[in-house]
Amino acid sequence: MSILKYLSARRSQLCAARNYLKVLGLSSLHTAPNSSVELHTQDEEVVIALGSNVGDRLQNFKEALKLMRKSGINITRHASLYETAPAYVTDQPRFLNSAVRAVTKLGPHELLSALKRIEKDMGRTDGIRYGPRPMDLDILFYGKFKVRSDILTVPHERIWERPFVMAPLMDLLGTAVDNDTVASWHSFSGHSGGLNALWEKLGGESLIGEEGMTRVMPVANGLLDWSQRTLVMGVLNLTPDSFSDGGNFRSVESAVSQARLMISEGADIIDIGAQSTRPMASRISVEEELGRLIPVLEAVMSIPEAEGKLISVDTFYSEVASEAVRRGAHLINDVSAGKLDSNMFKVMADLDVPYVAMHMRGDPCTMQNNENLKYDNVCKDISSELYAQVKEAEMSGIPAWRIIMDPGIGFSKKTEDNLEVLAGIPDIRAEFSKRSLAISHAPILIGPSRKRFLGEICSRTSAVERDPATIAAVTACVLGGANIVRVHNVKDNLDAIKICDAIRRQKCCPVKFGQ
């Protein structure tokens, strides 16, 4: 159900509910910090904004989230991460801003006290209002209640004028209202169209990249703005049995040579895989995968050409992911989105690197069986199943600002399904947006390179003969809004991507960067 339809259907019920709460004295609940009604026995859903512009901002965010969980604030959803220009007091460093949805049994003033303790523990002093701070935590919403007291006002009184607050807040919602509490937040905006109408009035998505506000992803001790151009991920397989280049790069010397070639041709990311995930591939052990991977990873990390490039490791084992990051890998690419290792999300939550979650049913041995190839609606089903994994990842502590989505071309999909994905990237984003706008804004990675379905369409039995077909597939997905493409042939695909990027910069293209 759309927000407008939902609000229309619920308006009379919400009005009645507000009147009932006023009779009980609940619309201005907790008028005194020591009120006895602070004793809560049920969870309330809350929204808390975070901001930092002093010290290591990313570490400040990590520490604040950890302390919030320890304080009885159970985080369920994360917004995107924004770097923003300072407001009000402009002579200070740029901020990182975001927000979280959470549930807590703490009363409003208890929650406020917990957040103030966290700010103090992280080194915040009184200072000047709107001035620099290691961490700023504000309660934007508390359940269905409005709170008024000498020290606390909820909803936060300045939400509506601040794009750097509204953007993360909107990320925590979906275009479909998922419960009555969220419906009440829309009603608090005072706009008939809810928070969405208010956000659009401020400027909405047109503000991102403007007004000093950029959506970013932390990676390799920096902040990646993936809205500027399409990134190219070059494939480096160390396996003897990969479908395209199995056995070509098993020695350290040949693997490093291939990495150098791809970097010289313009690759932004080198994706190193030591375990084949082609259909019917046999699974190797953690030890064998590490034995193949680590010598090459360390060698590639050490070459001068790799400076400024990102190194990704393609693995579904949490132990491999952990060791790879310890050795310097910048991101983890998991074809199973956590399904093949129950410990993956917990490990990734502690690793602080981007995580590629790919859609696949079953495992490489079962993904192409009849049951796993059944879809009612390809794009809807992929979005629903992949979002379920991402939601679990968030609950495990992986924030949305570290997640990259991959619909999994060639995995658990027939030729016509793969074509649906290539044409349906905007539809996939739209399905994500119903559940979480933050996830709908996440970078989308597409990997059609030399896949079997291209050979079936073009009658090319040899994988290395499928580069022209790959370029066509890459062109389609970039024009559809893909942010990262994973390819074997970097040089020729990069030329196609540059043309697509130029088209997307034109006003005539319906899909812009970052969408």
pLDDT tens string for the chain (515 positions)? 444 443 444 444 444 444 434 433 344 554 444 444 455 568 999 999 999 999 999 999 999 999 999 999 999 999 999 999 987 777 789 999 999 999 999 999 999 999 999 999 999 877 666 668 899 999 999 999 999 999 999 998 889 889 999 999 999 999 989 899 999 999 999 888 899 999 999 999 999 987 689 999 999 999 999 988 999 999 999 988 655 555 566 789 999 999 999 999 999 999 999 998 888 788 999 999 999 999 999 999 999 999 999 999 999 999 999 999 999 999 999 999 999 999 999 999 999 999 999 999 999 999 999 999 999 999 999 999 999 999 999 999 999 999 999 999 999 999 999 999 999 999 999 999 999 999 999 999 999 999 999 999 999 999 999 999 999 999 999 999 999 999 999 999 999 999 999 998 886 666 766 66
Q: Which of 77, 124, 133, 486 is catalytic?
A: 486
Same domain, 389 and 250: yes
Pick the last residue of a domain from 215, 240, 255: 215
- Asked, for residue 33, whether it belongs to a domain, the answer is no
Same domain, 417 and 463: yes
| HSE toward the beta carbon, residue 219, CA cutoff 13 A | 23
Same domain, 265 and 392: yes
- Asked, for residue 16, whether it belongs to a domain, the answer is no
Q: Which two tokens stand for residue 326?
A: 């310890």
CATH number at residue 104: 3.30.70.560
Q: Which two tokens stand for residue 55?
A: 């010290």
Same domain, 207 and 273: no
Same domain, 300 and 428: yes
Pick the last residue of a domain from 182, 215, 248: 215
Same domain, 337 and 281: yes
State the Cα–Cα distance between residues 349 and 355, nearest whole angstrom: 10
Pick the last residue of a domain from 185, 215, 245: 215
- Asked, for residue 27, whether it belongs to a domain, the answer is no
**Measured distance between the N- and C-terminal CA atoms of the chain, rounded to whole angstroms:** 22
Tell me the C-alpha to C-alpha distance, in Å, between residue 444 and each of 275, 453, 494.
Answer: 23, 20, 17
Q: Which of 144, 309, 413, 451 is catalytic?
A: 451
- Asked, for residue 374, whether it belongs to a domain, the answer is yes
486 is catalytic: yes
Same domain, 271 and 417: yes
Nearest to 50 by CA among 135, 121, 111, 112: 135
- Asked, for residue 397, whether it belongs to a domain, the answer is yes
Count of the separate structural domains present in the chain: 2
Same domain, 249 and 130: no
Q: 219: Cβ–Cβ under 8 A, 6 or more apart, which residues?
A: 310, 330, 331, 353, 354
Domain extent for 362: 226-508
Same domain, 273 and 417: yes
CATH number at residue 486: 3.20.20.20
